[in-house]
Structure 1
């Protein structure tokens, strides 16, 4: 099961007078990650390197920012992968202390900086969500709302037209049971919508235009 971070985690190492300032935090994707790296570079203008690694949306990326190839970004990325993290960015700001560490020393420093930060991190399980929508007569709106509350589903949108359309989210593992309960209680008066933002009127109109 993949995990996200509840809040940013930090750690700082000093090795042979070089400072390695690590941060591991949640991001939505590559664009947000690049914005964060640019922000760090602006905050640390005298730093020698701002190296980073990203896991988000099933994609990965790593950047050594001028360090010898494979000594910074890639080791940091491997740490993230071993933690089963998703939607996460690891950055390490390095202030050079005047003593070269060699390839092995750099790999250990960047790996340890991120790993130590993650020791203090609070991880949150990412539970796959189902996004559902249905339409019911006005007389059933209160009942549907009560059923959603009992299932702890998150009501995201309600539209009042000739019928009431409700969009909601809940864990995928609970979706089948809730749908069966709503189908039974609705007694044929509940209609499931293909699009969470489409009302029953929209759906009927779409069908008519398609047939015409």
Structure 2
């Protein structure tokens, strides 16, 4: 009997411990989820191409890191990135330019948010992107949808440099350049001759009037 009661007590302890663990996990999940919802918000940004953007790409506002890219997906005619702003206190003006730039030696992608105007509000108005009454015409609210642009991209620079070098290697370019120089020399000679004739004419006229 003692062995049976001991086994029952052990099983009850295991069940109680398991229930406590489950309650702890559920409470922790609710706490983290509540903190995330209350402190951060998300914005959808559409781009023509990925431009090196991936989950974890930092998001900067006026040069300061304020968030990161959570996910990116390919649509029919564009690429849609979901960015998470770490705090609801980080308010982004509606009229802002969102660019995908490349920085550093490894050309890491970064999203730069550049406000194009100052938002004029009353002192008693509190801007909250998570509020149900968020003013979508002044700031970016939670789950707003905006268009992103392509900023500084080293691939474009390399491509442009390659095209310029290819133009210099083209014999037709050298022929045109030679013709341009030849015509320029001829025009310069003609201009010099004209000025010489004018100077001679002026000198002759001055001598004639002086006599």
* TM tier relative to shorter chain: under 0.3
Q: TM-score, normalised by structure 2?
A: 0.26
Bigger RCO of structures 1 and 2 (CA < 8 A, at least 6 apart)? 1
Would you tell me which structure has more helix in proportion to its own residues? 2
Q: TM-score, normalised by structure 1?
A: 0.26
Would you tell me which structure has more strand in proportion to its own residues? 1
